[in-house]
Amino acid sequence: MKKGIHPEYHEDAKIICACGNIIETGATRKEMHTEICSACHPFYTGKEKLIDSAGQVDRFKKKMEKFAAFKEKAKAKKEKAKTKTVKKEVKAKKEKKTAK
Which domain, by its residues, includes 94?
A: 54-100
What is the CATH number for 45? 4.10.80.400
Identify the DSSP state of 25: E
Per-residue pLDDT tens for 23-33? 999 999 999 99
Rounded average pLDDT over 39-64: 78
Rounded average pLDDT over 34-62: 80
Task: Indicate whether 38 and 76 sit together in one domain.
Answer: no
Task: Indicate whether 67 and 31 sit together in one domain.
Answer: no
Full-model pTM = 0.43
For the chain, give the longest Cα–Cα distance. Answer: 110
Task: Indicate whether 38 and 61 sit together in one domain.
Answer: no
**Cβ–Cβ < 8 Å for 28, 8:** yes
